[in-house]
């Protein structure tokens, strides 16, 4: 697990056109870091931390896939 802690950015069009799985995971990781207060959890919390990141990333991807942005033009 690498990368820098960053602010969560808007991932839906028209704010972000090409959202990758890495973008979604980075946002989920930032969220879990913020609410848990840990940049990196202790080994006894690592599984719960990683599971939360994965679940939030899945939920975020599902949300983005189901949003209908009115007034935007599809490529």
In-domain check, residue 55: yes
In-domain check, residue 44: yes
Structural tokens at position 24: 């979604």
In-domain check, residue 13: no
**Count of structural domains within the chain:** 1
pTM above the 0.85 mark? no
| Residue range 37-75, pLDDT digits in tens | 999 999 999 999 999 999 999 999 999 999 888 876 554
With a cut of 70, say whether residue 1 has pLDDT above it: no
In-domain check, residue 37: yes
Mean pLDDT of 8-26: 85
Task: Locate all alpha helices (DSSP H) within 1-75, ordered by sequence.
Answer: 21-36, 46-66
34 or 68, which is more confident = 34
In-domain check, residue 31: yes
Determine the structural domain holding residue 25 and report its residue range.
Answer: 21-64
In-domain check, residue 50: yes
In-domain check, residue 69: no
């Amino acid at each position: 697990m690498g990368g820098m802690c960053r602010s969560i950015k808007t991932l839906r069009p028209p704010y972000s056109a090409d959202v990758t799985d890495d973008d979604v995971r980075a946002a989920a990781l930032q969220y879990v870091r913020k609410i848990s207060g840990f940049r990196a959890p202790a080994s006894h919390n690592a599984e719960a931390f990683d599971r939360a990141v994965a679940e939030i990333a899945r939920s975020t991807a599902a949300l983005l896939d189901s949003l209908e942005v009115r007034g935007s033009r599809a490529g």
